[in-house]
Homo-oligomer: A and B are copies of this chain.
Amino acid sequence: MAFKKRRVKLEDIARKLNISIATVSRALDENPRVKLSTREKVFMTAKAMGYMPNQIAKSLSSGKTNIIGVIIPRYDEPFFIEVCRGIDNYAREHNYKILISSSRNSFEFERENLISFERGLVDGIILSPTHETEMFAHIKNVINKGIPVVLFDNIREEVPGADHVIIEDDKASFNAVEFLIKKGKKKIAFIGGIKEKKVFQDRFKGYIDAMKQYEMTIDNDLILHCESLDREFEDAEIQKFFKEIKTQPDAVFTCTDNYGLLTMKTLLKLGYKIPEDISVIGFGDLGLGEVFVPSLTCVAQPSYEMGQKVAELLIAQFNEPNDVNHKKTVLKLKTELVIRDST
């Protein structure tokens, strides 16, 4: 093979068999209107000649690409990858591929990615907004062009026409904090993420609600909203928080697995015993918490299922007769508190 071969196309098969391109196309489509014997002949020669359909030509002609565009804020967060795995799984079963793009936690990139998806490469879009995303005009724009959209995870504002899949963030953290209170904890600290992110707002709300409902005093000294998006800095922020803390907490509710682990690390280094002196709870439950010593009690988030649901909703939109008066679905997934050694 010393040269790049020209690909076999329908025309080649047609010529070899002395039939028309249309018949070949129909035959390969297993169209029953083509005589069985012809169909068989076509199949054989197609195989013999090493025919491969051209996906691009098919797409142009049919107006469907069978590709789903996925935009996530970042790759290096197991939650998003797990969601993608769920999407991929469902999509594959329905003959779709996924094109993943990261918005790198930037609204500008999110917009760019979205625009590039408007160029007809994808049949629909799944998007998890960044913390920077305040305006949703770019998304509405896409929807107005008739491209189906499903949003998940961090949705600050409801977008008409798009399905939403989220988890019960407030309720989940309420339950976790309630669990600590019922264990007799008196000084429960809170560690969350950037305040702009809806999920962190909701998790904070759950904390506050539980504290109020059980008439605990809320001590601002025990509350930290991490501001960094980078592992390294998160670590530093958390270390600083516990070194400078005035009131000694007897429990910490944290808003991600990573915060939970970093908290345990810091506390262990400061000489605390977990869970004897202090309890720690994480959020997410994506594998790491189980291995740590002591293992981390977590709010378990159904990430993989979330991916599957999101894909399901999108593909359902594809099959709707009228995709513009699409009735929006808002799906709230349940979480579960997985109790381990850290509480």
A residues whose Cβ falls under 8 Å from a Cβ of B: 1-5, 7, 52-57, 59-60, 65, 67, 75-76, 78, 81-82, 84-85, 88, 97-102, 115-116, 118-121, 144-146, 231, 235, 258, 261-262, 264-265, 268-269, 287-288, 291-293, 323-325
Asked if A5 and B144 make an inter-chain contact with CB atoms under 8 angstroms apart, the answer reads yes
Asked if B4 and A146 make an inter-chain contact with CB atoms under 8 angstroms apart, the answer reads yes
Beyond the given A88-B100, A97-B101, could you list 20 further A-B residue pairs with CB under 8 A, ordered by the A residue number? A1-B144, A2-B324, A2-B325, A4-B145, A4-B323, A5-B146, A7-B145, A52-B115, A52-B119, A54-B119, A56-B59, A67-B99, A75-B81, A97-B116, A97-B121, A98-B99, A262-B291, A265-B293, A288-B291, A293-B293
Asked if B65 and A75 make an inter-chain contact with CB atoms under 8 angstroms apart, the answer reads no
Task: Provide a sorted-by-A list of 9 A–B residue pairs whose CB atoms are within 8 angstroms.
Answer: A1-B324, A52-B118, A52-B120, A54-B119, A76-B78, A76-B82, A88-B102, A98-B99, A265-B292
Tell me which residues across on chain B come within 8 A of A54, comparing CB atoms.
60, 119-120
In the complex, what distance in Å separates the CA atom of A67 from the CA atom of B88?
18
Q: How far is the CB of A75 from chain B (nearest CB, A)?
A: 4
Tell me which residues across on chain B come within 8 A of A84, comparing CB atoms.
75
In the complex, what distance in Å separates the CA atom of A324 from the CA atom of B78?
39
In the complex, what distance in Å separates the CA atom of A37 from the CA atom of B214?
71
Asked if A100 and B101 make an inter-chain contact with CB atoms under 8 angstroms apart, the answer reads no
A97-B97 contact in complex given A52-B118, A75-B84, C-beta closer than 8 Å: no
| Closest residue on chain B to residue A287 by CB atoms | B231
Tell me which residues across on chain B come within 8 A of A52, comparing CB atoms.
115, 118-120
A100-B102 contact in complex given A53-B119, A119-B52, A324-B1, C-beta closer than 8 Å: no
Q: How far is the CB of A162 from chain B (nearest CB, A)?
A: 14
Other-chain residue from B5, B53, B144 in contact with A145 (beta carbon distance below 8 A): B5
| Closest residue on chain B to residue A65 by CB atoms | B56
Q: Which 7 A-B pairs have the closest CB atoms?
A: A4-B146, A55-B119, A75-B85, A55-B121, A54-B120, A268-B293, A1-B144
In the complex, what distance in Å separates the CA atom of A54 from the CA atom of B120?
6
In the complex, what distance in Å separates the CA atom of A100 from the CA atom of B82?
14
Tell me which residues across on chain B come within 8 A of A85, comparing CB atoms.
75-76, 102
Tell me which residues across on chain B come within 8 A of A53, comparing CB atoms.
119
Asked if B268 and A324 make an inter-chain contact with CB atoms under 8 angstroms apart, the answer reads no
In the complex, what distance in Å separates the CA atom of A231 from the CA atom of B258?
19
| Closest residue on chain B to residue A141 by CB atoms | B50
In the complex, what distance in Å separates the CA atom of A67 from the CA atom of B78?
25
